[in-house]
């Protein structure tokens, strides 16, 4: 086995949500729409360059679409290609829809017959995932959420309210009312609680065609809050990750959670 492959496995063990090395995202065809009955088409991928599908399609197993009235809507025309997944959402209600890929689970390692093995799965299946006789069992809790928002007509609040599950933003500024040169206020929450002192990364899309990443890092304040300013209109990728020991599963040593959102900033 090459060093590179070992290094990759080492990294994967440290950061068990496999796509960590790449940026995951949902990219809607529009975020601000007018009319009575409209559609958005959405790409879902993990890539290095934003927002180009050049690495891996993202699975849609954990996809959830929340309508302005809070109900769940089925994502239509789902397809998983080599580099991207796609799906469509029909917008029939006026207001804001939330598009999310979110999920949690356990991952870790154990020793069996002198070999270190990796395992991964939902908490409910932990017992069957770790065989009899395994020793040095390491358990890590993982959560991840990848969001984007689209609005037909006037922005609304129901669908964007925090789920209070996993890591996410509370949107004091509406995510579909963002304009270049303005300042937006968001708060980082974990299971509904403010997360102070966490770094949030903000990267404008289009880095394939520029030499600088133009990443801006901000640190959340006491209430988990932070401000984002948008130098240019365009699609932005925001990401935050936490890692701590506040686990909820017995014997789990660490908890890791990530939040990613794609936001569109419009010209003035």
Helix (H, G, I), strand (E, B) or coil at 68: coil
Q: Residue 268 CB, nearest distance to another protein (Å)?
A: 7
Which residues contact residue 253 at a Cβ distance below 8 angstroms, ignoring those fewer than 6 apart? Answer: 138, 139, 140, 245, 247
Burial (CB < 10 A; 0-12, 13-18, 19+), residue 256, is buried
Q: Which is nearer to another protein, 155 or 204 (CB)?
A: 155
Q: Which is nearer to another protein, 138 or 182 (CB)?
A: 182
The contact set with another protein (CB under 8 A) reads 32-36, 38, 153-155, 177, 179, 266-268
Q: Which is nearer to another protein, 123 or 266 (CB)?
A: 266
Helix (H, G, I), strand (E, B) or coil at 154: coil
Q: Residue 96 CB, nearest distance to another protein (Å)?
A: 11
Q: Residue 92 CB, nearest distance to another protein (Å)?
A: 13
Which 8-state DSSP code applies to residue 174? -
Rounded-to-5 percentages of helix, strand, coil across the chain: 10, 50, 40
Contact (CB, 8 A) for 143 and 180: no
Q: Which is nearer to another protein, 88 or 177 (CB)?
A: 177
Q: Residue 32 CB, nearest distance to another protein (Å)?
A: 5
Q: Which is nearer to another protein, 147 or 264 (CB)?
A: 264
Q: Which is nearer to another protein, 30 or 201 (CB)?
A: 30
Q: Residue 177 CB, nearest distance to another protein (Å)?
A: 7
Q: Residue 154 CB, nearest distance to another protein (Å)?
A: 4
Q: Which two tokens stand for residue 55?
A: 């690495």
Please, where are the H alpha helices in the chain? 3-14, 126-129
Q: Which two tokens stand for residue 34?
A: 């007018």
Q: Residue 71 CB, nearest distance to another protein (Å)?
A: 22
Can you tell me the distance from the alpha carbon of 215 to that of 48, in angstroms, rounded to the nearest whole number?
A: 13
Q: Residue 264 CB, nearest distance to another protein (Å)?
A: 12
CA-CA-CA-CA torsion for 54, 60, 62, 63, nearest 10 degrees? 100
Q: Which is nearer to another protein, 121 or 153 (CB)?
A: 153
Of the candidates 81, 83, 53, 31, the one whose C-alpha atom is nearest the C-alpha of residue 208 is 53
Q: Which is nearer to another protein, 138 or 177 (CB)?
A: 177
Backbone angles phi and psi of 68, in degrees to 5: -55, -30
Question: 81-97 b/e with 16+ CB inside 10 Å = b?
Answer: eebbbbbebebebbbbb
């Amino acid at each position: 086995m090459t060093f590179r492959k070992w290094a990759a496995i080492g990294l994967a063990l440290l950061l068990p949500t496999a796509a960590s090395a790449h940026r995951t995202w949902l990219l809607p065809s529009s975020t601000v729409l007018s009319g009575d009955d409209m559609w958005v088409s959405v790409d879902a991928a993990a890539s290095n360059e934003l927002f180009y599908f050049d690495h891996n399609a993202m699975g849609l197993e954990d996809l959830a679409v929340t309508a302005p009235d809070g109900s769940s809507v089925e994502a239509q025309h789902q397809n998983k290609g080599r580099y991207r997944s796609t799906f469509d959402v029909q917008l029939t209600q006026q207001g804001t829809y939330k598009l999310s890929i979110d999920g949690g689970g356990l991952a870790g390692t154990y020793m069996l017959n002198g070999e270190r093995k990796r395992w991964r799965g939902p908490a409910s299946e932990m017992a069957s995932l770790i065989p009899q006789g395994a020793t040095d069992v390491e358990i890590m809790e993982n959560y991840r959420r990848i969001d984007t928002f689209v609005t037909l007509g006037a922005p609304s609040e129901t669908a964007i309210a925090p789920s209070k599950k996993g890591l996410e933003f509370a949107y004091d500024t509406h995510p579909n009312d963002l304009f270049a040169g303005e300042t937006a206020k968001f708060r980082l929450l974990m299971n509904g609680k403010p997360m102070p002192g966490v770094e949030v990364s903000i990267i404008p899309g289009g880095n394939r065609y520029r030499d600088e990443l133009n990443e801006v890092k901000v640190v959340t304040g006491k209430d988990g809050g932070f401000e984002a300013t948008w130098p240019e209109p365009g699609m932005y990728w925001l990401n935050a990750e936490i890692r701590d020991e506040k686990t909820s599963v017995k014997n789990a040593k660490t908890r890791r959670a990530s939040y990613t959102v794609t936001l569109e900033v419009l010209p003035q």
